[in-house]
Amino acid sequence: MEDQPSVTAAIEQIAPRLRSARLKKGVSLADLARTTGISTSTLSRLESAQRKPSLELLLPITAALGIPLDEIVAAPRILDPRVPQQPTRKDGRVLVPLSRQQGEPRAYKMTIPAHDSEPHLRTHDGYEWLYVLRGRLRVKLSDQDFVMGAGEAAEFDCRIPHWFGAAGRGSVEVLSLFGKQGERIHLRTRRR
């Protein structure tokens, strides 16, 4: 049996779901009242959560709207928020996805090996955000060349030629957020 908070949450969602379904079908309250035999005021109170829903009321409404009852009364699904981490390698860098979705934005943890220290400038649309978690990060931004340590952050327009990699003898850890507009965040943590 479901716990009381889940039942309460499902009941609270009925009113906005009813209204949304009716509007989506392009049906007025008056038309729905004529079709179901339920008064306009009762339908209005159901949609504004001023009246508790019952099967007596919901069954004729969902039938008239041509939608399954589950669409109105189903309890919200709560998914496991943990993201499966399946590392991949790209150009010697290890990328661990930190977001589940395949769309935008996407987040990654990136480990850059110490030997990845030769700049190869590139450009793309959007903005780049960097934050060093561990190690030392060398950033080349057009003519600028600088090193960031753990806890430092930077941001820049990705249309400017740029590159980042390891600075020093150890690897670097970076967190990266990437979206359609090129939004990215790169973070690295230093283990002590």
Assign residue 145 the CATH number of its domain: 2.60.120.10
Domain final position from 44, 73, 102: 73
| Poorest-pLDDT segment among 18-27, 67-76, 136-145 | 67-76
Q: Is residue 192 part of a domain?
A: no
Q: How confident is the model at residue 5 (pLDDT cuts 50, 70, 90)?
A: low
> Does residue 93 sit in the same domain as residue 174?
yes
pTM, two decimal places: 0.52
Q: Examine residue 135 and state whether it is found in any structural domain, yes or no.
A: yes
The secondary structure of the chain, three-state, reads: CCCHHHHHHHHHHHHHHHHHHHHHHCCCHHHHHHHHCCCHHHHHHHHCCCCCCCHHHHHHHHHHHCCCHHHHHCCCCCCCCCCCCCCEEECCEEEEECCCCCCCCEEEEEEECCCCCCCCCECCCCEEEEEEEECCEEEEECCEEEEECCCCEEEEECCCCEEEEECCCCCEEEEEEECCCCCEEECCCCCC
Domain that holds residue 101: 88-186
* Residues 136, 92 share a domain: yes
88: pLDDT strictly greater than 70: yes
Across the chain, mean pLDDT equals 82
Asked if residue 181 and residue 96 are part of one domain, the reply reads yes
For the residues 141-162, what does the mean pLDDT come to? 89
Question: For 6-42, what is each residue's pLDDT tens digit?
Answer: 677 778 889 999 999 999 999 999 999 999 999 999 9
CATH of the domain at 60: 1.10.260.40
**Res. 73: pLDDT tops 90:** no
Both 20 and 94 in one domain: the answer is no
If one counts the domains in the chain, the total is 2
Same domain (yes/no): 93, 144? yes
Residues 115 and 164 in one domain: yes
Tell me, yes or no, whether 191 lies in a domain: no
For residues 92 and 173, membership in a common domain is answered with yes
